[in-house]
Structures are given as structure tokens and as C-alpha cells.
Amino acid sequence: MPDTLIRAIAAAGGVRGVAAVTTATVEEARRRHQAAPTATAALGRTLSATAMLGTGLKDGQRITLRVLGDGPLGGIIADGTGGGEVRGYVANPDVDLPVTSRRKLDVGGAVGRGTLHVTKDLGLRYPYHGSVPLLSGEIGEDVARYLVVSEQVPSVVALGVLVDPDGRVRAAGGFILQVLPGAAAEIPRYLEERVGRLPAVTELVRDGMGPAEILDLALGDLRPRALGDGPVVFRCGCSRERVEAVLIALGRAEIERLLEEQGRAEVTCRFCGDRYMLGPAEVSGLFSAPA
Ligand SMILES: [Zn+2]
């Protein structure tokens, strides 16, 4: 089943919600980066958050999340579009920690202390940027804090990735609920209590729930009304042309040094793991092409 997300409004316009099922997207990220379970969970939660926070962006606009902690993962970078295309990587994808005492993947321990940065490139002169210190490194709480502190929107964020014993992603997804100005005073507490009693989002996804059902469950009596839905996919915008542009920017001397050492120029895209290889003839073609 392809990954999807859904947006809704509830409580007569007082609450905005988005939920996503991202199992295939996170599995693709895991496979591309050969990520171990803890790294997969950390990257997957970040990708899910990116997809959901990106809703509302227009063509050509992008959102980037950087989870920069001092733990063994060494940083997670994800970016996405308003169309649900996301990509991302973790600096050390082979990081795998023992599960916590509650039998959870220890994402917080792998991320460590540090900062969450959110950048929105809206095509204006300067991108919008906000950042908050990491609260737990569990990503969900950190994104909620960012929304409260940086965007002044009280928010509940749930993110989860369930990894099978064979290392593959069994279920991934999440939801974000935001309390908008003018909402009834009791709504934040209602949502927190309700969400606190829900099973983990990975259990809901594993049991076959789609994003609409998850959002209905999270919003309870607040009568959600769907605003729209769309796909979520792992997609990287890298291409041979872009790699060639990077090589040209590096300069002829540097590339020739690479060629001498390795016999070819090889570039691996950090975001998706795709490899681009250029032999000596192709490299010299880059620098002899008419401008
Ligand atoms: Zn790529």
C-alpha cells in the first residue's frame, strides 16, 4: 500500500491535524542507507515529521529538518516538499543501541543532546529558520517543542517506527495536532489526555489503520473534517547533471587529483546513496565543453 498523509481541521477550526503512514518511505530510506534499527527509527521519525510539516508548502518550496545531537548517530538531515516527497540521511547509519528498559529503540540515546533546526525555503530572499534545544532526542517531543516555542502553536506530535527482527521496517507513521488561536480553552488538555491514552502510533499502523483513521482516533470528539490528502514518497532530486555541476565547481585540479588516485571520479549522494561514476574521458569532457 502506498504511503499517504491526510490533513484535517477539527473543533470548528480550533485544531489542525495531519497524520501520515510512512512505512514504505522509511523502509526505502533504511534500504538505501543500509541503516541499523536505531538509526532507522531516528531517520524514519525525522522523515515522517518532515513530510507532515511540509504540507502547505507550494511548488519550489522546501522544508529541512536537522537534528544535530552529540550522540553516536552524529546528526540527521531530512528535507521535503509540499507534495510529500522526502529524502534524508543520518551521519552514522550503522548505529544500533540496546533497546531501552521499556523495550523501545533508544532513539534519544542515539541522538543525544543538541539542537533541532527547521528551515523553510519559501523562495524568498532569506529562508525562514527556527531552532530549539533538543528536549529528549526522541524527535516527536522535539518537534512539538519547536512548534510551541518557535511557531507559537501548542502542538502534540506522535512519531514512530517499528523495525522487525530482520531489520526491515514493519510500520512507520505519525500525527501532528495543533491548537490554533481562538480554540476553546479546554482543548489542549483534552488532546493531551486523549493522545496519552492511545496505543503507540506504530501499533495503529501495524494493525492496518490508515492516516484518516489515525487522525479520527487522535481527535476523538472534536469532529474532524478532512481537508485533503496526498502521497508520501522517498525521492531525491539528485541527477548526473547536478553531480557534474558539483564536479565542475570543485575545479579541474581537484578532479584530476581524484582521477590519479582512483582512476575515476565517484560521487555518492548523501541523501539517497545513489552513486555516480565518471571515468577520465567523461571528466575531461566536463572541462572542455563549450561554456
Ligand atoms: Zn540523491
Q: Is the pLDDT of residue 289 over 70?
A: no
pLDDT tens-digit profile of 18-49? 999 999 999 999 999 999 999 999 999 999 99
Whole-number pLDDT of residue 266 = 86
Query: Which three three-digit cell numbers place residue 123?
Result: 523562495
Spacing, Cα 135 to ligand 1 middle (Å): 30
Q: What is the mean pLDDT of residues 160-171?
A: 96
Count of Cβ atoms closer than 10 Å to residue 137 Cβ: 24
Spacing, Cα 97 to ligand 1 middle (Å): 27
Q: What is the CATH number of domain 240-288?
A: 3.90.1280.10
Smallest Cα–Cα separation from 28: which of 259, 231, 241?
A: 231
pTM of the model: 0.94
Whole-number pLDDT of residue 231 = 98
Spacing, Cα 223 to ligand 1 middle (Å): 41
Arch. (CATH architecture) of 4-234? 3-Layer(bab) Sandwich (3.55)
Spacing, Cα 103 to ligand 1 middle (Å): 34
Beta-carbon-side half-sphere exposure of residue 139 (alpha carbons within 13 Å): 33
Whole-number pLDDT of residue 80 = 97
Per the prediction, the chain carries an average pLDDT of 94
131-139: long-range contacts at Cβ-Cβ below 8 A with a sequence spacing of 24 or more? 134/67, 134/69, 136/108, 137/67, 137/69, 137/71, 137/107, 137/108, 137/109, 137/110, 137/111, 137/112, 137/113, 138/45, 138/107, 138/108, 138/111, 139/42, 139/45, 139/46, 139/49, 139/67, 139/107, 139/111
Spacing, Cα 95 to ligand 1 middle (Å): 21
Spacing, Cα 220 to ligand 1 middle (Å): 40
pLDDT tens-digit profile of 247-268? 888 888 888 888 888 888 888 9
Whole-number pLDDT of residue 283 = 82
Spans of all domains in the chain: 4-234, 240-288
Q: Is the pLDDT of residue 291 over 60?
A: no
Spacing, Cα 67 to ligand 1 middle (Å): 19
Spacing, Cα 201 to ligand 1 middle (Å): 29
Whole-number pLDDT of residue 188 = 92
Spacing, Cα 238 to ligand 1 middle (Å): 4
Q: What is the mean pLDDT of residues 151-159?
A: 94
Percentage of the chain exceeding pLDDT 90: 81
Residues with Cβ within 8 Å of residue 163, at least 6 apart in sequence = 30, 37, 40, 41, 105, 169, 170
Q: What is the mean pLDDT of residues 278-289?
A: 80
**SS3 state at 142:** helix
Spacing, Cα 272 to ligand 1 middle (Å): 4
Spacing, Cα 10 to ligand 1 middle (Å): 37
Spacing, Cα 25 to ligand 1 middle (Å): 14
Phi, psi of 115 (to 5 degrees): -135, 140
Residue that the C-alpha cell 496519552 belongs to: 196
Q: How many whole angstroms separate alpha carbon 151 and alpha carbon 161?
A: 26
Spacing, Cα 226 to ligand 1 middle (Å): 33
Spacing, Cα 141 to ligand 1 middle (Å): 29
Spacing, Cα 277 to ligand 1 middle (Å): 14
Q: How many whole angstroms separate alpha carbon 141 and alpha carbon 146?
A: 9
Whole-number pLDDT of residue 107 = 96
Spacing, Cα 73 to ligand 1 middle (Å): 20
Whole-number pLDDT of residue 287 = 80
Spacing, Cα 46 to ligand 1 middle (Å): 17
pLDDT tens-digit profile of 80-126? 999 999 999 999 999 999 999 888 999 999 999 999 999 999 988 89
Categorize the per-residue pLDDT at 290 as very low, low, confident or very high, splitting at 50, 70 and 90: low
Q: How many whole angstroms separate alpha carbon 242 and alpha carbon 202?
A: 37
pLDDT tens-digit profile of 183-218? 999 999 999 999 999 999 999 999 999 999 999 999
